[in-house]
Amino acid sequence: MEQCLRVNNITKKFGGMLALKDVSFQTETGEILGLIGPNGAGKTTLFNIISGVLRQTEGEILFHGKSVSHMAPHKICKLGIARTFQIVKPFYSMTLRDNVAVGVMAVGHSKNKALEKADEVLSFLGLDQKSDKFPGELTLAEKKRLELSRALATDPKLLILDEVMAGLNTREMLDFTEIIKTIRQRDITIIMVEHVMQAILTLCHRVVVLNFGEILAIGTPEEVINDPKVIEAYLGDGYNAQN
């Protein structure tokens, strides 16, 4: 399989604090890769580095063989990497349609093209009835869909999802699981951070486990949930996948 993203020996220091230490893994094109680990493990920090929001202290990120390590976020997005934010941050003074369109314009498309794309993606995510509303009028689940719309509208090859299911109820989570499956069928590679293990088990081909900024395990979902190291550091005793 073709390699999509390669994370090479990434280290990130915040002052004296080592948030990531020599992290390396890769994703294959078309796979859904899970990234899990306890709070503060460095998951969001890694996403911030991949998307160019933060600079690594050491190491390199390669996207289809090309280094993106020193590129600005909009350039990385233009190359085909889009991400959602753990804390959703839409523009509250703009309609949903405009919220999605500005992201498309930021990667170089015309306003007309951006609005067309916004309508298409909002419809795909079931928000077409709300496209003239403002983000403040949305439920949390709808805000998460808006966040995903903004990322998808840039036509990514790699989509990075930071806890899109956090705070959702079971029904909303199942809906989101189906959405992610459909996105993957469009040949978009996905890396997802999620604490909802059921979603990780259902969706992911492989899982990377981070703990205190270091890789603790990499394997199939089955392998990592049965790994004593992962149970001890993250899942807890008595964990089983049916919970």
Ligand X SMILES: Nc1ncnc2c1ncn2[C@@H]1O[C@H](COP(=O)(O)OP(=O)(O)OP(=O)(O)O)[C@@H](O)[C@H]1O
Q: How far is the CB of 100 from Mg ion (least distance, A)?
A: 24
Place of tokens 């078309």: 30
> Is residue 44 close enough to count as binding Mg ion by CB under 5 A?
yes
* Residue 99 binds to Mg ion (criterion: CB under 5 A): no
Give residues in contact with ligand X (CB under 6 A). 14, 19, 37, 39-45, 86
Closer CB to ligand X, residue 40 or residue 108? 40
Comparing CB distances to Mg ion, the nearer of 69 and 84 is 84
User: Rounded to the nearest whole angstrom, what is the least distance from the CB of residue 177 to ligand X in the complex?
Assistant: 20
In the list Mg ion, ligand X, none, the entry touching 39 (Cβ below 5 to 8 angstroms by class) is ligand X
Asked if 33 and 24 touch (Cβ cutoff 8 Å), the reply is no
In 3-state terms the chain splits into helix, strand, coil percentages (rounded to 5) of 40, 25, 35
Q: By C-beta, is 88 or 114 nearer to Mg ion?
A: 88
Beta strands 206-211 and 214-219 are: antiparallel
Q: Which is nearer to ligand X, 4 or 20 (CB)?
A: 20
Q: How far is the CB of 23 from ligand X (least distance, A)?
A: 11
Which contacts of 169-174 are long-range, i.e. CB under 8 A and separated by 24 or more positions? 169/141, 172/141, 173/198, 173/199
Q: Does 45 bind Mg ion (CB under 5 A)?
A: no
Residues ≥6 apart with Cβ < 8 Å to 139? none
Nearer to Mg ion, 44 or 99 (CB): 44
- Stretches 39-47, 71-79, 148-156, 171-179: which one binds Mg ion (CB under 5 A)? 39-47
CB of 234 to Mg ion, least distance (A): 14
Which range of residues in 2-10, 52-60, 86-94, 179-187 is near Mg ion by CB under 5 A? 86-94
HEC assignment per residue over 135-195: HHHCCHHHHHHHHHHHHHCCCCCEEEEECCCCCCCHHHHHHHHHHHHHHHHCCCEEEEECC
Which token pair is 234? 């993250």
Residue where the block lists tokens 């680990």: 37
User: Which two structure tokens, joined as six digits, stand for 229?
Assistant: 């190291």
Q: How far is the CB of 40 from Mg ion (least distance, A)?
A: 8
